[in-house]
């Protein structure tokens, strides 16, 4: 269990995104219905965004090579390349971010600062996690709508409810 309920909610959001994407084939994941974003691009966008802000900007590491290559090639086009590589990279990045975030307290989240980049100012890690939760659920809605799912999103949020 995460120390912070906010971090636990992020992990539950990842579970809900996985549930919304469950069973997607590589063909479905790389398609761009009606010119919109592909499921592969969406997963790369969400996991790659956290990889950039947490692992690269905050922790001083390198961006996952799959996300770096996908971003360089497809940027904000909504397209993606290799679904299997994106899904594997997302698992790797989530595992890494989870091990970093799991022990952090609410106070830690409030005091750790994510450095700014370009037009984006420095923000607290608490803000970054909160923003990521909201952004993840926005895209869960997109994926669920495109797939015609009527599931319960958000799910039971088992890590947040006492």
- For the stretch 87-115, pLDDT in tens is 999 999 999 999 999 999 999 999 999 99
CA dist., res. 133 & res. 35, Å (int) = 25
Instruction: Please report which confidence band the pLDDT of residue 74 belongs to, taking 50, 70 and 90 as the band edges.
Output: confident
pLDDT at 8 over 90: yes
Question: Does the domain at residues 5-147 carry the CATH identifier 1.10.3720.10?
Answer: no
Q: What was the pLDDT predicted at 85?
A: 96
**φ/ψ (deg, to 5) at 156:** -70, -10
pTM of the entire structure? 0.91
> Do residues 64 and 54 touch, judged by C-beta distance below 8 A?
no
Q: What token pair was written down for 156?
A: 């039971």
pLDDT at 138 over 70: yes
Taking the CA atoms of 114, 160, 93 and 74 in sequence, report the sign of the dihedral they define.
Answer: negative
Name 123's bridge partners: 114
Q: What was the pLDDT predicted at 103?
A: 98
Instruction: Please report which confidence band the pLDDT of residue 162 belongs to, taking 50, 70 and 90 as the band edges.
Output: low
Average pLDDT on 103-130 reads 96
Taking CA atoms, 107 is separated from 15, 61, 71, 123, 127, in Å, by 25, 23, 33, 14, 12
């Amino acid at each position: 269990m995460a120390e912070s309920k906010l971090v636990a909610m992020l992990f539950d959001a990842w579970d809900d995104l996985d549930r919304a994407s469950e069973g997607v084939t590589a063909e479905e994941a790389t398609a761009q219905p009606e010119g919109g974003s592909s499921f592969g691009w969406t997963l790369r966008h969400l996991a790659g965004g956290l990889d950039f802000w947490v692992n690269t900007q905050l922790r001083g590491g390198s961006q996952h090579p799959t996300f770096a290559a996908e971003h360089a090639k497809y940027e904000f086009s909504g397209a993606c390349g290799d679904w299997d590589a994106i899904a594997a990279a997302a698992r790797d990045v989530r595992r890494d971010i989870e091990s970093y975030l799991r022990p952090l307290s609410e106070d830690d989240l409030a005091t750790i600062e994510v450095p700014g980049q370009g037009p984006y100012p420095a923000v607290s890690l608490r803000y970054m996690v909160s923003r990521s939760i909201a952004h993840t659920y926005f895209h869960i809605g997109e994926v669920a709508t495109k797939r015609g799912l009527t599931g319960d999103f958000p799910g039971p949020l088992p890590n947040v409810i006492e």
